[in-house]
Every structure is written in structure tokens, then in C-alpha cells.
Amino acid sequence: MKSFTQHKGIVAPMDRANVDTDMIIPKNFLKSIKRTGFGKNLFDELRYLDEGQPDQDCSQRPLNMDFPLNFPRYSGASVLLARENFGCGSSREHAPWALDDYGFRAIIAPSYADIFFNNSFKNGLLPIILSAEIVDQLFSEMYASEGYELTIDLAAQVVTTPAGESFSFEVDEFRKHCLLNGLDDIGLTLQEADSIREYEERRKQQAPWLFGAIVAG
């Protein structure tokens, strides 16, 4: 996994509550067996005026010029500013894959759906929680100032505005450690293999039916 330490980037808006994972990456693009290439279909049904197809060349498709990500001023954005309950709906990791592939490194919102929140950390994408009031303020500042950038420092857990105002955010210690160092948590868990085996031995005595094998037949 790629690490996340500090990041400064242009902020783009997704100014609505309850943005669901079907909106982030519609199901017709989930048929891919790869992890990459989803960026061109991020927010597909909002971004383009036609219906998208998998493996299509999107450069020729008609753009919805009312959708902020298509505004020139948000070109190259890498921080997404959003509202409550971002990422609700399905468990598809294709949602953070698509945001990452598009170029986003961080999201700022008052709240997230649990599974999306979790999936983001596994992909070097930092979902930051700030209060609804602060998010409101950031939306106002961003709309008022073209090229608006935010600086994010994960180690210090701080978001800083162009005017130098800072907002601190909470982040789980384990997730922070993995993200700062770009650690793959499978490797970390396998360091605990002995504990897992001990647990299995104990449980097999107590509840052998839990180890019933799924068998062909």
C-alpha cells in the first residue's frame, strides 16, 4: 500500500449528503477483475451525459458540464470535500479504488459509512472527519476562492487552510501507523500466527462444530 504522510492539493466539492457507492462507481464497472482503471468511471452517471460501458474510451463521451468535477477550476483536484454519510451502500472496494485512481488522496466529510471508511484506509486514501460546521466553512472558502488548496498532515493530524487556520482530526492509531508507513496489514497479522493457532486449538475443544468443513459433494 502507498503511504500517506503529508499532502497539499486542490479541493473539489461533492456537495450532497448520503453519496452512495453506486454513485461513486456504478455496478457495470464492477465486472473488472483488476484493481486499477476505475478513475475514468468515478461518478460516471453524474459526470457524463450518456450511459457508460465497461472498457469504453471515455475521452469521446459527452461531459455533464454542470457537474463540478468537470469544471476547469477543479481540474487536478486531490482532496474531495463532502457531506454526511459519504460512501453509504455496498461494500465494493471499487469505490476507494476509483477515487484513488482519479487522483484523490483524501476526503473530508462530517461522517462516513463504516465499510467505505474502512476500505479507504486499505488503499492509501485518507478519510478525514471534521465537524459539519467546519465542513460548511471549508465549502464556503472553497467556493469563494478558485484554486483553493488544503494541506493535510497525517502525523500531526491537522488540516490547514490557505489562510493558515488549522483543524485537528482524530484517526485510529493502528490505521495511522499503517498509512504513514504504507504497511500491508496481512503481513502484520501473520506475525501473530501463533496466537491464531492457539485460539483455534482452544475453540476446537469448546465448539468443534465451528470447524465443520465445507466439502465438495
Partner 1 sequence: MAGKTLYDKLWEAHLVKERDDGSALIYIDRHIIHEVTTPQAFEGLRMAGRKPWRVDSILATPDHNVPTTQKERASGVDGIEDSVSRIQVKTLDDNCDEFGIVEYKINDQRQGIVHVIGPESGACLPGMTIVCGDSHTATDGALGALAHGIGTSEVEHVMATQCLVAKKMKNMLIRVDGELGAGVTPKDVVLAIIGKIGTAGGTGYAVEFGGQVFLDMSMEGRMTVCNMAIEAGARAGMVAVDQTTIDYVKGRTYAPKGEQWEMAVAEWRELVSDADAQFDKVVEIDGASIKPQVSWGTSPEMVLPVDAAVPDPAAENDPVKKAGIERALQYMGLAAGQKITDIHVDKVFIGSCTNSRIEDIRAAAEVAKGRKVAANVKEAMVVPGSGLVKAQAEAEGLDKILLEAGFQWREPGCSMCLAMNADKLGNGEHCASTSNRNFEGRQGYGGRTHLVSPAMAAAAAIAGHFVDVRDL
Which residues contribute to the site for partner 1 (CB under 8 A)? 16-18, 20, 22-23, 26-28, 30-35, 45, 51, 54-55, 83-85, 88-93, 96, 111-115, 118-119, 122-123, 172-174, 177, 185-186, 189-190, 192-193, 195-196, 199-200, 203, 207-210, 212-216
Task: Return the number of the residue (84 or 141) whose C-beta is nearest partner 1.
Answer: 84
Task: Return the number of the residue (144 or 210) whose C-beta is nearest partner 1.
Answer: 210
- Closest approach, Cβ 159 to partner 1, in A, equals 21
**What is the enclosing helix (H) or strand (E) of 106?**
strand 106-109
Q: What angle do CA 107, 177, 114 make, to 5 degrees?
A: 45
The type of residue at 8 is: K
Q: Do residues 109 and 129 lie in contact, with contact meaning Cβ atoms separated by under 8 Å?
A: yes
The type of residue at 183 is: L
- Closest approach, Cβ 196 to partner 1, in A, equals 6
- Closest approach, Cβ 134 to partner 1, in A, equals 15
- Closest approach, Cβ 160 to partner 1, in A, equals 25
- Closest approach, Cβ 79 to partner 1, in A, equals 20
Task: Return the number of the residue (10 or 19) whose C-beta is nearest partner 1.
Answer: 19
Q: Do residues 1 and 124 lie in contact, with contact meaning Cβ atoms separated by under 8 Å?
A: yes
Task: Return the number of the residue (31 or 163) whose C-beta is nearest partner 1.
Answer: 31
Integer CA distances (angstroms), 142 to 82, 165, 180, in order? 12, 14, 27
Q: What angle do CA 91, 94, 95 make, to 5 degrees?
A: 75
65 Cβ contact list (under 8 Å, min separation 6): 71
Task: Return the number of the residue (10 or 12) whose C-beta is nearest partner 1.
Answer: 12
What number of residues does the chain have?
Answer: 217
